[in-house]
Amino acid sequence: MIKIAVAKGDGIGPEIMDATLKIFNAAKVPLAYEVVEMGKWVFDKGYNNGMTPEAQKTIENLGILFKGPMETPKGKGVKSVNVTARKTWNTYANKRTFQTLHGVDTVFSKADIPIDITIVRENIEDTYGGIEHMLTHDVALSRRFITRPGSTQVIRYAFEMAKKKGAKRITCGHKANIMKITDGLFLEVFYEIAKEYPELKADDVIVDDLCMKLVIRPDLFDVVVLTNLQGDIVSDLCAGLVGGLGFAPSANIGDHISIFEAVHGTAPDIAGKNIANPTALLLSGIGMLQHLGLMESSTLIENALLYTLESGVHTGDFGDKNTNSLNTTAFADAIIANFGKQPKHNPKPSLDDIPYSCTVLHLDKNPMLETTENIAEKIVGVDMFIESNVQPDELAKKCLRHAGVKFQLINISNRGTQVWPTGSRYTNLVNQYNARFESVDGEPLNQQDIIGLYVSLSGDFKICSLELLNSWGDKRSYSLAQGQ
């Protein structure tokens, strides 16, 4: 018996989890469950991360969490327990598999276009850090972190998974044409790792083009790896291709702890009515069984599910509207009644996960992920984000007075568009500028120089934030303003 942690979740969570575990129990799946306290009601009890300390300890000891969807309380300043769980336990790869399910009609199934796409979404970084500030009354800032070690972890997972899956193609979705440094780093790591997998065709597609291509020819894609937010959006698009969120499973894979859950949320509009579709959670559970190496159980349940769907049995959210729909419990019973039956369209068993070790590695310190590059690093300037509603020329005049002998004012931009020394009168302004100062003749600066400039400027302005301008060797480590 393998022991796993189970959190039933909020809204439809308990209904679909009970249905799924009923199927597991009927299949005599060799798992023991420890139910943990996580979700909205735990926030309400005063735990700000949405889980009790006992729940955290149990999950860290067992290494596997099977969870229902959880609601994030609105307007209480608390963060999503779903995101907190993924980040706290470094489940860096969010694997979402989208396959044609016979019995679930879509435009593609009707056109006989098969879909078998696995999206691997980076799960920790990006705007999901949720590091946000109001810089002025009008200007909000979200910090987007993309890191080399974080990108390496998820991209390596995607390549390994693609290789085990026997995939022919692995695609990186990105927006490196615009976000040259952040998405550029993700893409650079992708092609570095691709060199180690010559048997896989590795290519990249800009994310907007990717969305169009997925809708036109989804059968051309195999494994797609993306940063967090883009991966979130693209995977919901893929859910739509195979019939909707009711059919979208998800695995959050980490080196020590993994979380299995459906992509959809708590569906408050249908909660408590026993009409929710448990398929996405059941598919996530099947993925979990495969991850745990319980192939016999997973095959029995997957075949019964596919047979049931092929037979036209359905819950209210899909299927033939002219035939009666089943409620959640009856749908689970129909699957149980079909144990041992073979679907016409056999599933390919998923053997693509990193092998699970039943022994959870206990850590006595936080792992530090760091790569080193032997290149001289120097500070060559600073971006000062200044609150001001004066015209660019007037702002420049004041800034120039503070530049002193070490700094030169290079340019001033507003929302990323240069407005001084050249610009256009047609560029709308908001009350925050970026004044870019660089060292005279590229001389290296130190942090005291930056603080000196900060103190001087602060006599005239409110400085909302600043960013150092670094260079590594000859390489600039910051973007240019539009028009610079």
Letter string b/e over residues 316-339, b meaning 16 or more CB atoms within 10 A of that residue's CB = bbbbeeeeebbbbeebbbbbeebe
Subset of 80-99 contacting ligand NAD (CB under 6 A): 82
For residues 38 and 53, the answer to whether their CB atoms sit within 8 Å is no
For residue 458, which of 392, 410, 398 has the smallest C-alpha distance? 398
| Complex with ligand NAD: residue 264 or 436, whichever CB lies closer | 264
Cα separations in angstroms, 116 against 171, 219, 220, 281, 415: 14, 7, 9, 18, 41
Q: Which of residues 369-398 bind ligand NAD (CB under 6 A)?
A: none
Nearest to 126 by CA among 249, 233, 266, 240: 233
- Min dist CB 276 to ligand NAD, Å, is 4
Tokens of 19: 């249905």
Name which of 70 and 170 has its Cβ closer to ligand NAD.
70
* 245 versus 330: smaller Cβ distance to ligand NAD: 245
86 or 291: whose CB is closer to ligand NAD?
86
- Contact call for residues 248 and 242 (beta carbons, < 8 A): yes
* Residue 95 CB partners (closer than 8 Å, separation 6+): 118, 119, 120, 161, 250, 251, 252, 253, 287, 353
User: Are 17 and 38 in contact, with CB atoms under 8 Å apart?
Assistant: no
Region of residue 473 (phi > 0: left; psi between -120 and 50: alpha; otherwise: beta): left
Q: Does 276 bind ligand NAD (CB under 6 A)?
A: yes
Closer residue to ligand NAD in complex, CB, 10/183: 10
State the nearest-atom distance from the C-beta of 69 to ligand NAD, in Å. 3
Q: Rule CB under 6 A: is residue 297 a binding residue for ligand NAD?
A: no
Which residue has tokens 């229902």? 68
CB closer to ligand NAD, 72 vs 91: 72
Report which residue's Cβ sits closest to ligand NAD: 265
Which one of 8, 121, 175, 264 is in contact with ligand NAD (CB under 6 A)? 264
Q: Is 70 in the site for ligand NAD (CB under 6 A)?
A: yes
**Run of H or E including 169:** strand 169-174
Query: Where in 29-68 is the site for ligand NAD (CB under 6 A)?
Result: none
Of 276 and 445, the one with the shorter C-beta distance to ligand NAD is 276
Is 97 within 8 Å of 249 (Cβ atoms)? yes
- Least separation, in Å, of the C-beta of 221 and ligand NAD? 23
Tokens, residue 189? 């790591």
Residue among 149, 265, 293, 347 that touches ligand NAD (CB under 6 A): 265
Residue 277 sits in the site that holds ligand NAD (CB under 6 A): yes
Give 75 or 355: the residue with its C-beta nearer to ligand NAD: 75
* List 27, 270, 300, 409, residue binding ligand NAD (CB under 6 A): 270
Select from 100, 182, 258, 266 the one that contacts ligand NAD (CB under 6 A): 266
Smallest separation, CB 283 to ligand NAD (Å): 11
Contact segment (CB under 6 A) with ligand NAD among 152-160, 269-277, 296-304, 388-396 equals 269-277
Name which of 280 and 453 has its Cβ closer to ligand NAD: 280
Q: Between residue 169 and residue 208, which ones bind ligand NAD under the rule CB under 6 A? A: none
In three-state secondary structure terms, 329 is helix
**How many residues sit in the footprint of ligand NAD (CB under 6 A)?**
21
- Closer Cβ to ligand NAD, 265 or 347, answer by number: 265
> 72 is written with which tokens?
């994030």
Q: How far is the CB of 226 from ligand NAD (least distance, A)?
A: 17
- We find the least distance from the C-beta atom of residue 43 to ligand NAD, in angstroms, to be 11
* Type of residue found at 83: V
Alpha carbon distance 3, 241 (integer Å): 35
Taking the least distance from each CB to ligand NAD, the nearer of 115 and 270 is: 270
Query: Of the listed pieces 108-116, 257-265, 345-353, 396-404, which binds ligand NAD according to CB under 6 A?
Result: 257-265
Determine the 3-state secondary structure of 201 from DSSP. Answer: strand
Main-chain phi, psi angles of 357, to 5 degrees: -105, 130
φ, ψ of residue 479 to 5 degrees: the values are -85, 160
Query: Three-state DSSP class for 294?
Result: coil
Q: Any contact of residue 246 with ligand NAD (CB under 6 A)?
A: yes
State yes or no: residue 240 binds ligand NAD (CB under 6 A): no
State how far the Cα of 175 lies from the Cα of 275, in Å rounded to an integer. Answer: 40
Q: How far is the CB of 241 from ligand NAD (least distance, A)?
A: 16
Q: What part of residues 311-350 is at the interface with ligand NAD (CB under 6 A)?
A: 317
Location of structure tokens 């979740």: 9
Work out which of 267, 292, 384, 410 binds ligand NAD, going by CB under 6 A: 267
Q: Give, to the nearest 10 degrees, the angle between helix 279-291 and helix 295-310.
A: 160
Closer to ligand NAD at the Cβ: 284 or 471? 284
Question: What is the distance of C-alpha 37 from the center of its chain?
Answer: 24
Residues that bind ligand NAD (CB under 6 A): 12, 16, 69-72, 82, 245-246, 261, 264-270, 276-277, 280, 317
